[in-house]
Amino acid sequence: MATDETLNSRRLAFDILRNITEKKETFDVALISGMANYPAMEERDRAFARHLITTCLRHLPFLDGLIDGAMDAPLEDRNLGTRNWLRLGITQILYMNVENHAAVHTTVELISNSPTKGIRGKKGLANAILRRFAKNSEQLLEKSQSDATANIAPWLRERWLKQYGIEELKLVSEALLIEPPLDLTVKDKTQIDAIVANLNGQKLGNYTCRLPKAGEVTGLKGFNEGQWWVQDFAASLPVQLMGDVKGKNIADLCAAPGGKTMQLASAGANVTAVDVSKKRLLRLEENLKRTNLSAKIIASNILKWHPEQLFDGILLDAPCTATGTMRRRPDVPINKTVDDVLKLSGVQKNLLEHSFKQLKTNGTLIYCTCSLEQEEGEDVIKNFLENTPSAKRIPFTANDIGPLSSEIKTEKGDIRTLPSILGDIGGMDGFFISRLTKQDI
């Protein structure tokens, strides 16, 4: 019989998956709330549960295809709990270092002990399906590995195929299956080499120290001293591409949790950080305090915010579907849909139009989103330039970008990063970045 610790780690994974699939919580929220229900759980069991749930989410479309193919009749929508247990069981069989018989036995035992009658009633069905998959695990794993695109949600696979082509789709699909490294943005670029050496990391550009594994961030050297903060390499590019901001008045819009605010402040800018979420701004304040940096913080709906003075520069990191962050947020394909892409593109257009009005003539506005969807990037800028005579794009050049220029610069001179870029050392988030200026007309 499985131990309580073994069963509890799987219960935790199930609780997190249930909250994501049924309550539509984000991965981070579901993870935190799930962990809180098991305060005495050892770290190794927490790590197992986290690995199990992230692996399951990254392969979810493929897993569902297996489950549906094994059924004479589809599982009812109301029996999502049984599907979730099957998802976790098959994940252990195919992708984790768990003996097949242990994966089957623990999953069936947990289904048998479920407080939900509808789930308990599927014990025999689950046992038969899992044993069949365990018997054919090598062939199924080979099938999974032969086509990484099968792990992408159909609504995204169709869109990315059209936008990027089959070869890039394959590379992106492969990148999204890999646990991402941990990127740290350093406060003082003159200390980057020392910080990289202290943490046994890898230097990316002038500001990023990359570590192969996340681990406990607060225990790393330099955290308490405020020498760095967690920020994906791609997310650090928008501020770097603003150019010299020292002494300039810069607005960071949709600023929380504050990575870009800290970048701007550490570069000597006078920063006004604006965000609608008071809760998220508290985290920004904590980050500023830890790094001994300062910014003026305003809690406001940006569309209703009218500053007294115009700004030299504006950074608009607009809310988006976040499909570019799926390496770290594998819940995105579950919690977002095509409707969200269309809805948010409208929000982004409104935010860009309003934000541009707060920019001085000859000032610089950086628009960015962590989305891979064209409607949230290229199309927003195209529409804005067509309808705003005073707006002009400032194309990025090789001098702005450096060695990555040929990989991330678009034909129009914007930037499009993909999870597959720098794939040999862990990839990066997907971002769209455009640089605009205001001219007299």
Assess contact for 393 and 412: CB atoms under 8 A.
yes
Q: In the structure encoding, which two tokens stand for residue 114, read together?
A: 């479920």
DSSP string over 249-264: EEEEET-TT-HHHHHH
Assess contact for 174 and 148: CB atoms under 8 A.
yes
CA-nearest of 401, 398, 373 to 236 is 401
Distance CA 336, CA 217 (A): 28
Distance CA 86, CA 82 (A): 6
DSSP state of 241: T
Q: Determine which one of 56, 209, 320, 370 is catalytic.
A: 370
Q: In the structure encoding, which two tokens stand for residue 340, read together?
A: 């969200």
Half-sphere exposure of 24 (CA within 13 A, CB side): 3
Half-sphere exposure of 344 (CA within 13 A, CB side): 21
56 assigned to active site? no
Assess contact for 229 and 182: CB atoms under 8 A.
no
Q: In the structure encoding, which two tokens stand for residue 388, read together?
A: 């705003």
Assess contact for 338 and 66: CB atoms under 8 A.
no
48 burial class (0-12, 13-18, 19+ CB within 10 angstroms)?
Answer: buried
Assess contact for 290 and 218: CB atoms under 8 A.
no
Angle, helix 43-58 to helix 60-69, in steps of 10 degrees: 70
Longest dimension (CA), the chain: 77
Name beta bridge partners: 274.
253, 298
Q: In the structure encoding, which two tokens stand for residue 205, read together?
A: 């550009």
Active site (catalytic) residues: 370
